[in-house]
Amino acid sequence: MAKILLAGGAGYIGSHTAVELLHAGYEVAVIDNFMNSSPEAIRRVEQITGKHVALYEADVRDREAVAAVFRAEKIDAVIHFAGLKAVGESVKKPLMYYRNNIDTTLTLLEVMEEFGVKNVIFSSSATVYGEENAVPYIETMKRGVCSNPYGWTKAMMEQIFEDAAKADPALSVILLRYFNPIGAHESGMIGEDPLGIPNNLMPYVTQVAVGKRECLTIFGNDYPTKDGTCMRDYIHVVDLAKGHVKAVDYIMHQHCVEVFNLGTGTPYSVTEIVETFERVNQVKVNHVYGARRDGDLAEFYANADKAERLLGWHTEKTLDDMCRDSWNWQRQNPNGFQAAE
């Protein structure tokens, strides 16, 4: 069976993707420097699946270290998850974001070229649609003007992949634009484990519910939406991970340069998330309404028809599943992977 290299594979989405790839019969190797993750996540992937993961601790910007992995493993395709992803931090430390995100991409592409590896899948984001495109976002739209350096790194990396594919007709590229991944593996053994104060909604909700933080601030209730709070297309991380398996199946069988939205197509408001979480889990989430957060759009969601049509992929899990599984992970691991390290 083919071997897939996950750059940044110890992180939230990479670890769930590793589980689904192993279940599907693929072999998995991971390179990660654990700057935002723990090797414990990979140990748990092995426990869940009963299968081995070849784990390499290295910076994906370190060309020699990456080449050594390609020398040791016969890699058939690469999925590039490695990157920094906190929007607010990217505004304060743009150079760090450009350096890490762009350099990892260039190094991976250069080493792939050196070793003749011709299949790559990239973790992009709905943020590349920018502020101008109307919802739902569809892949035929042009990339828009991003509102922060994180978004620009994604837009630039998409461009880099497209240019590399133009220059090398043998290179196959799939750009996956994720919407808002939440949830966790149903075992509760792996999940999202942010460092410090969470930036994203769901980890904040679960940390309030578990008593680590006092109160959630809902950023704005005066948006032009049904209840005044922002609407997003939340997708269960296991559905997202299965989207990667479908993308690998696809890229292994034909040459392609494609972009796919991975979302459900259905937006929910922040208030709906909080209410659903409380109902499904029978737990209180203290919250207050506060000011809008800079750069937030009122609403965005995916048109996910292309992924259904070409990859045969669609989401299966509900918002109730997402809220239940997020809580199951947080309750079993109140300090994330830390306690196990």
**Closest-CB residue for ligand NAD?**
11
Rank residues 169 and 338 by Cβ distance to ligand NAD and give the closer one: 338
Out of 21, 22, 27, 37, the residue judged to bind ligand NAD by CB under 6 A: 37
178 binding partner (options ligand UDP, ligand NAD, none; Cβ < 5 to 8 Å by kind): ligand NAD
Provide the residue count of the chain.
Answer: 341
Out of 124, 153, 180, 264, the residue judged to bind ligand UDP by CB under 6 A: 180
Residue identified by tokens 């502020």 is: 131
List the alpha helices (DSSP H) in the chain: 12-23, 39-49, 63-72, 87-92, 94-115, 149-167, 201-209, 237-253, 270-281, 305-306, 319-332
The secondary structure of 208-233 as a DSSP string is HHTTSSS-EEEE-S-SSSSSSS-EE-
Which member of 129, 150, 178, 234 is catalytic? 150
Does 136 participate in binding ligand NAD (rule CB under 6 A)?
Answer: no
Q: CB of residue 286 vs ligand NAD: minimum separation in angstroms?
A: 24
- The answer to whether the beta carbons of residues 150 and 87 sit under 8 Å apart is yes
12 catalytic? Reply is: no
Out of 296, 316, 320, 341, the residue judged to bind ligand UDP by CB under 6 A: 296
Each residue 235-274 as x (binds ligand UDP by CB under 6 A) or -, in order, gives -----------------------------------x----
Residue identified by tokens 């920094």 is: 84
- The answer to whether the beta carbons of residues 284 and 209 sit under 8 Å apart is yes
- The answer to whether the beta carbons of residues 80 and 53 sit under 8 Å apart is no
Residue 33 and residue 46: Cα distance in Å, rounded? 19
Does 337 participate in binding ligand NAD (rule CB under 6 A)?
Answer: no
Does 11 participate in binding ligand NAD (rule CB under 6 A)?
Answer: yes
Return the residues of window 42-61 that contact ligand NAD according to CB under 6 A.
59-61
Q: Following CA atoms 192, 193, 197, 203 in sequence, which dihedral angle do they give, to the nearest 10 degrees?
A: 30
What Cα–Cα distance (Å) separates residue 40 from each residue in 108, 188, 196? 24, 14, 18
Does 294 participate in binding ligand UDP (rule CB under 6 A)?
Answer: no
How many chain residues interact with ligand NAD (CB under 6 A)?
A: 25
Contact residues: ligand UDP, CB under 6 A? 180, 199-201, 204, 216-219, 230, 232, 270, 293, 296
Q: Which residues bind ligand NAD (CB under 6 A)?
A: 8, 10-14, 32-37, 59-61, 81-83, 85, 100, 104, 123, 125, 178, 181
Residues with catalytic function: 150
